[in-house]
Amino acid sequence: MGPLGDGGVTPSPPAAFAAAGEGELPSPPAAPASAGEGVLPSPLAAPESAGEGELPSPPPSPAAAGEGELRSPPAAPVSAGEGELPSPPAAPAAAGEGVLPSPPAAPVSAGEGELPLPPAAPVSAGEGELPSPPAAPVSAGEGELRSPPAAPVSAGEGVLRSTPAAPASAGEGAGRVAAFGGVVAALAVGIALRVAPVLSADFPLTDGGLFLIMIEAVRAAHLALPATVHYNGMDLPFTYPPLGFYLAAGLAELTGASPIDLLRFIPLAVSLVALLAFAWAARRATTSRIAAAIAIWLFALAPGAYVPFLMGGGLTRGLGFLFAIVALDQAYAMYRTRSRAAVALCAVMSGLTLLSHPSVAWFLAFSAGAIFLAFGRNGAGLARSIAVGIGALAIASPWIGVAIWQNGPGAFLAAFQKGSFLLGTASSAATLESVATTVFLLALLLGCLALATSGRRGLFALGWIGLILVLAPRELARASIIPMSLAAGELAAAGISWIRPWRTAAPGVGGWGRWRRWVGPALAASAFLALWPVTVVLLTDRDGFVALSPPERAAMAWASQSTPSSSRFLIITGRPWPRDRVSEWFPVLAGRVSAVTPQGTEWTSDGRFARLSDANALAQACAVNDATCLDRWREETGIGVDYVYLARDGSRRCCPALEGSLRADHRYRAVFNEPTAVVFARADAR
């Protein structure tokens, strides 16, 4: 539109100008850039330049106006009669002749006749040019004010700045401090519980006799991988994951430390690091700080989280447990954050787990699979899982290749079958009972996988524990402490949030929205009840968690010095073989055969492990019987012995009834009698 309307009528100027005398220009509604003499800049949009003495064209896209009528103003003016100008803004600054006065500076609220707050600082305009208009005004009807843009981020002169975000409440800060203090206290208590039993003994706790022989075998082979190890009168294949033995042998060579002392302090150091690793992982795996703190407390206090790993056997199982915790944490991280560093670290930790302990490596494998089903079930997650598997196998491949070349693949298959209900049952002879058991276990496995796939923490924990039960029952009393601790933390945190809903619940949330929080934790509680025997073991079991005392070692030294080297002993302690420190250490310290010690035979494929395990269980049952029990044992097993060694355990005095019966039986005679042990020789002994 040109400077003049049809019929030579001059168009109306923009609204909200101040009243002006004849021949004077009114004040504009916004602070424009300087303009040339007698030239009026438009407050809203840049029109075509106007000639001298001509008025510039009005703002673009105003509401439709009739000929000679005022166009819609950009700000809310007071209604004016036809041909009249609206009320001027309050207190305009004085201006020189022919120069437009400056507008008032950004009033917040505009009263009647006042200019509204400008939406943003205009860009300076050259002579005769107009500043750029405000961005994206709201459409307005005829004669109505267009809305200014809301809440600009950058604030120029005369523009209100955005309000800063509200700081965290004092209560939230106090909660963080309390949670942090709780974690620190849990770590301190957990460290004390782990350090005290090790420092109070001068010998490895519980087991470790076989591992001492394997460390010495590595040293004798000058750090090469031996093909076999001689233990308890048998040459056993050295296919056990060797990382722990190489660590101890290397430290012994470098520092001159005794392997006996290394079997004490390496498990302790590893267990302390595992406590810290779990604390780090729990914060990522739980939904709140309070849940993480409670999970860490349970892990710090529960004997199942440290007793099996402080023993001499913790040299391998403790290392595997530590690496598995870190690997599982990184598996969760790589699916949730898609971090390449997490993929690499997960692969390294998985490979080190495989080099440390076979059962823990198997536990890690199916646990990582469950995490994939819950949180990484997509193409990218599958690719990361494959990369981790390839990396782990690459790290462990030198040992796997040498071990298979030396002893064949049967040793690996035999070990895995002994650690799993499902694999062991599926590989047994096909009978109606075994087929039914396999079908049941498969159904249970699918149910556990379905729970884990849900991705909800309560259901996932329940499915995870079920997978441990089906696939790795030997690790149930050890590895299940991880999901149980996490589930307990979530359950307790849910209870706290129910008691104090203002901490966690959004205002107005009630009914099913509040009850729904309890579904997952309630299922986790159901897992605690269903697995109550395992829970009791995890929380209370310290049975056999002591080292061989000097008198016990003296009794074994007597056997070494006072019996023929070919002698065979039946060791009766009344304990199951995994916690029977006397049965495991006797072949090492006495140098004689313990007839029913099964340690080390897990890696044989000729059935020795099953035969010795069953014979050991039958023999320990005789601890509460008389001499006729030993006769039945001999007939059922066909195993001949020269001596019967009764261990007088201070915590459970073995075996008064059997001892009295043997003393009265003319076929036996006591040849050693001390407070820690009594040894009977058979009349037909060699």
Domain assignment present for residue 157? The answer is no
Contact 44, 14 (CB under 8 A): yes
| pLDDT over 60 (residue 122) | no
- From 95, 120, 139, the end of a domain falls on 139
Q: Which range is least confidently modeled, 94-108, 355-369, 421-435, 667-681?
A: 94-108
Nearest to 103 by CA among 201, 1, 31, 187: 31
Distance CA 615, CA 583 (A): 13
| pLDDT over 70 (residue 116) | no
Question: What's residue 397's pLDDT?
Answer: 94
Question: What's residue 288's pLDDT?
Answer: 87
* Spacing of C-alpha 394 from chain mean position: 25
| pLDDT over 50 (residue 170) | yes
| pLDDT over 50 (residue 503) | no
287-298 mean pLDDT: 91
Contact 318, 274 (CB under 8 A): yes
Pair (482, 560) in one structural domain: no
Pair (528, 556) in one structural domain: no
Pair (485, 347) in one structural domain: yes
Alpha-helix runs per DSSP H in 124-169: none
Q: Which distant-in-sequence residues (6+ apart) come within 8 Å of 104 by Cβ?
A: 89, 90, 91, 92, 114, 115
Whether omega before 622 lies within 30 degrees of 0, making that bond cis, reads no
Contact 292, 283 (CB under 8 A): yes
- For residue 453, the number of C-alpha atoms closer than 13 Å in the C-beta half-sphere is 8
Distance CA 273, CA 306 (A): 11
More confident residue, 349 or 107: 349
More confident residue, 536 or 591: 591
Kindly state the DSSP code that residue 493 receives in the 8-state scheme: H
Question: What's residue 578's pLDDT?
Answer: 86
More confident residue, 161 or 412: 412
433-459 mean pLDDT: 81
Kindly state the DSSP code that residue 674 receives in the 8-state scheme: E
pLDDT digits (tens, 9 = 90+) for 125-154: 444 344 444 444 444 444 444 444 444 444
Q: How many structural domains are present in the chain?
A: 3
416-433 mean pLDDT: 55
Domain assignment present for residue 569? The answer is yes
Q: Which range is most confident: 221-225, 243-247, 287-291, 479-483?
A: 243-247
| pLDDT over 90 (residue 317) | yes
Contact 481, 474 (CB under 8 A): no
Mean of per-residue pLDDT scores for the chain: 75
Q: Which range is most confident: 17-31, 311-325, 498-512?
A: 311-325
> Can you give the residue range of the structural domain that contains 579?
550-682
pLDDT digits (tens, 9 = 90+) for 547-577: 999 999 999 999 999 999 999 999 999 888 8
Question: What's residue 321's pLDDT?
Answer: 96
Inter-axis angle of helices 340-354 and 379-407, nearest 10: 20
Confidence of residue 522 (pLDDT cuts 50, 70, 90): low
* Spacing of C-alpha 511 from chain mean position: 31
212-228 mean pLDDT: 93
Q: Residues of the chain with pLDDT > 70: what percent?
A: 63
Instruction: State the pairing for strand pair 668-674/234-237.
Output: unpaired
Pair (216, 325) in one structural domain: yes
More confident residue, 103 or 307: 307
Q: CA angle 519-523-525, nearest 5°? A: 115
Question: What's residue 159's pLDDT?
Answer: 38
Pair (212, 78) in one structural domain: no
Whether omega before 655 lies within 30 degrees of 0, making that bond cis, reads yes
Domain assignment present for residue 167? The answer is no
CB burial of residue 651 (10 Å; 0-12, 13-18, 19+)? exposed
Contact 119, 147 (CB under 8 A): no
Pair (648, 569) in one structural domain: yes
| pLDDT over 60 (residue 30) | no
- From 139, 172, 206, the end of a domain falls on 139
- From 139, 163, 182, the end of a domain falls on 139
Confidence of residue 31 (pLDDT cuts 50, 70, 90): very low
More confident residue, 87 or 400: 400
Contact 187, 275 (CB under 8 A): yes
More confident residue, 430 or 465: 465
Pair (197, 338) in one structural domain: yes
And the tokens for 5?
């309307």
And the tokens for 443?
């159904």
| pLDDT over 60 (residue 8) | no
Question: What's residue 515's pLDDT?
Answer: 59
Pair (382, 236) in one structural domain: yes
| pLDDT over 60 (residue 33) | no
Question: What's residue 458's pLDDT?
Answer: 72
And the tokens for 102?
């400056």
| pLDDT over 90 (residue 471) | no
| pLDDT over 50 (residue 180) | yes
Pair (438, 457) in one structural domain: yes
| pLDDT over 70 (residue 9) | no
More confident residue, 90 or 224: 224
Residue 620, φ and ψ in degrees, nearest 5: -70, -25
| pLDDT over 80 (residue 198) | yes
- For residue 404, the number of C-alpha atoms closer than 13 Å in the C-beta half-sphere is 9
Pair (228, 198) in one structural domain: yes
| pLDDT over 90 (residue 271) | yes
Pair (533, 612) in one structural domain: no
More confident residue, 624 or 684: 624
Domain assignment present for residue 169? The answer is no
Domain assignment present for residue 178? The answer is no
| pLDDT over 70 (residue 78) | no
Question: What's residue 152's pLDDT?
Answer: 45
Nearest to 515 by CA among 502, 531, 539, 497: 497
Q: Which range is least confidently modeled, 237-246, 493-502, 513-522, 622-631?
A: 513-522
Question: What's residue 443's pLDDT?
Answer: 86
Contact 622, 665 (CB under 8 A): no
More confident residue, 489 or 146: 489
Tell me the longest C-alpha to C-alpha distance in the chain. Answer: 143
Distance CA 238, CA 227 (A): 5
407-436 mean pLDDT: 63
44-73 mean pLDDT: 42
And the tokens for 100?
């437009």
Say what the pTM is.
0.70
Pair (333, 200) in one structural domain: yes
Q: Scanning the structure block, which residue is given the tokens 């233990």?
A: 231
Domain assignment present for residue 182? The answer is no
Alpha-helix runs per DSSP H in 500-605: 501-504, 512-515, 519-530, 532-540, 550-562, 581-589
* Spacing of C-alpha 202 from chain mean position: 35
Confidence of residue 171 (pLDDT cuts 50, 70, 90): low
What pairs with residue 668 in β-bridges? 682
Kindly state the DSSP code that residue 563 receives in the 8-state scheme: S
Torsion of CA 604, 605, 611, 617, to 10 degrees: 60
Question: What's residue 541's pLDDT?
Answer: 58
| pLDDT over 50 (residue 65) | no
